[in-house]
């Protein structure tokens, strides 16, 4: 396995866990993880071809990845709508 792929997987897992800690009942874990992965891929594409990645950690750009995950998860939250409380009638 490529070290880049392993590092990206760690970023995605940590980002998904931080999102679940911040807003625990907003999404299911699979949705949060998928949004984190798409955010990392999109951020890396922008960083490599757009030159907007900031400092690099090996082949990855952690700041761009963090922004990419945050943007995708915010878009997902907006599209998902308001959080529904359990047990309310």
Reply yes or no on whether the pLDDT at 85 is more than 60.
Answer: no
In a domain, residue 62? The reply is yes
User: Over the stretch 43-67, which tens digit does the pLDDT of each residue have?
Assistant: 888 877 776 666 666 677 778 888 8
Domains in the chain, number: 1
Half-sphere exposure of 20 (CA within 13 A, CB side): 15
In a domain, residue 32? The reply is yes
In a domain, residue 88? The reply is no
Could you tell me if 76 and 44 are in contact, meaning their C-beta atoms sit under 8 angstroms apart?
no
In a domain, residue 89? The reply is no
User: Over the stretch 66-82, which tens digit does the pLDDT of each residue have?
Assistant: 888 888 888 887 777 66
In a domain, residue 67? The reply is yes
User: Over the stretch 13-47, which tens digit does the pLDDT of each residue have?
Assistant: 888 888 888 777 777 888 888 888 888 888 888 87
Give the range of the structural domain holding residue 53, as residue numbers without chain letter: 3-80
With cut-offs at 50, 70 and 90, classify the pLDDT of residue 83. Answer: low
């Amino acid at each position: 396995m490529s070290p880049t792929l392993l590092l990206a997987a760690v970023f995605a897992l940590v980002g998904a866990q931080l999102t679940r800690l911040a807003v625990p009942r907003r999404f299911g874990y699979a949705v949060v993880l998928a949004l984190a992965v798409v955010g990392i891929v999109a951020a890396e594409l922008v960083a490599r071809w757009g030159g907007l990645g900031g400092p690099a950690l090996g082949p990855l750009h952690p700041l761009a990845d963090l922004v990419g995950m945050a943007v995708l998860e915010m878009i997902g939250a907006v599209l998902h709508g308001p959080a529904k409380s359990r047990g309310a009638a």
